[in-house]
Amino acid sequence: MGFYLLFLVVSLKKIEMNNRSFFLKTIAPVGSLSLIDVDGFATESKSLSKEKVSVWSKPKIIFFDVNETLLDLEPLKKSVVAKLGGNKELGTLWFTTMLQYSLVVTVSSQYFDFGRIGAATLMMVAKNNEIELSEDEAKEAVEPMLSLKPHSEVKEALALLKKAGYLLVSFSNSSNKAVKVQLDHAGITSFFDQILSVEDYGKYKPHLEVYHWAARKMNVENSDCMLVAAHGWDVGGAKWAGWQTVFITRPGQQLFPLAITPDIIENDLLKFAVKILKSS
């Protein structure tokens, strides 16, 4: 190594400054490329560290997030916004706060029902904005989560995938009791071979362990799993866990720019189903 460094220093002295860029790009060891900032080369090498879109393969199991991916959250949003003085921005803040505190309890090795977290965080948002809201009123506001309708294309998409022989699993942050009520009310329970709730593991998505647990539960490798979700944090977590991912671009949802790009991106579930069936 010492001889190589000496050779490098001597060589640099012999090369004119206007040729320095060419020299470094030509003989620099591969391991040192990220340390060199010549003609934007370092920027290029850093960009290569971010994983690109992978070429997806036929999964053994397709997992579906439930809330917003399969079910239309508009009735829930309207109910919550009504309790927050009609302020839609506060409604959005409530949803992100609920997700935030689901992760707070996860990293603190605690677990509370998703509905309880929803009511508790709604009270927090209300209090921060000087809105009086009792615990009973908060619980009442989140009750529509149990009676949501599926998005218009969901049943047709699930039927196509089921008919094609795919194993379909719902995979939600909602409790076992809640998600069963949700799927039954939406009329889509029969499409699923298994209904999974993070309640059985005691941690919320997008903790990596939760995805690994779900794969073990279904007796498959992580690489054989594909998650379909409308949340950037969910597909981000699943992709980091070694799953294939599909992002459904529901209104108001965005991908996390620092996460690995999903394998498939579509604006509704039916388009995804048609795409995967054509490639099967």
pLDDT tens digits, one per residue of 195-224: 999 999 999 999 999 999 999 999 999 999
Give 164 or 12, the one with higher predicted confidence. 164
Q: What angle do CA 100, 104, 106 make, to 5 degrees?
A: 115
Mean pLDDT of the chain: 85
pLDDT tens string 15-41: 344 444 433 333 333 333 333 233 333
Weakest mean pLDDT among 39-53, 70-84, 128-142, 196-210: 39-53
Supply the pLDDT for residue 29.
Answer: 36
| The 3-state secondary structure of the chain, one letter per residue | CHHHHHHHHHHHHHCCHHHHHHHHHHHCCHHHHHHCCCCCHHHHHHHCCCCCCCCCCCCCEEEECCECCCECCHHHHHHHHHHCCCCHHHHHHHHHHHHHHHHHHHHCCCCCCHHHHHHHHHHHHHHHCCCCCCHHHHHHHHHHHHHCCECCCHHHHHHHHHHCCCEEEEEECCCHHHHHHHHHHHCCHHHCCEEEEHHHCCCCCCCHHHHHHHHHHCCCCHHHEEEEECCHHHHHHHHHCCCEEEEECCCCCCCCCCCCCCCEEECCHHHHHHHHHHHC
pTM as predicted: 0.80
pLDDT exceeds cutoff 90 at 136: yes
Average pLDDT over residues 250-276: 96
pLDDT at 18: 42
> What b/e readout covers 183-210, taking b as 16+ CB neighbours within 10 angstroms?
beebebeebbeebbbbbebebbbbbeeb
Whether residue 49 is predicted with pLDDT greater than 80 in this model: the reply is no
- pLDDT of 47 > 50? The answer is no
pLDDT at 197: 98
Q: Which two tokens stand for residue 87?
A: 């302020």
Mean pLDDT of 56-62: 92
Residue 180 pLDDT more than 70?
yes
- Size of the chain, expressed as the number of residues it contains: 280
pLDDT at 27: 35
The two structure tokens encoding residue 153: 């294309």
Query: Does residue 60 register a pLDDT over 70?
Result: yes
pLDDT band at residue 57 under the 50/70/90 scheme = confident
Query: pLDDT tier at 279 (50, 70, 90 boundaries)?
Result: confident
* Encoded tokens for 146: 């149990």
- Residue 42's CB: how many other CB atoms inside 10 A? 14
Inform me whether the pLDDT recorded for 46 exceeds 90: no
Residue 20 CA to chain centroid, in angstroms?
A: 44
pLDDT of residue 56: 76
CA distance 169 to 60: 11
- Top pLDDT among 21 and 156 is at 156
Residue-level pLDDT at 139 = 96
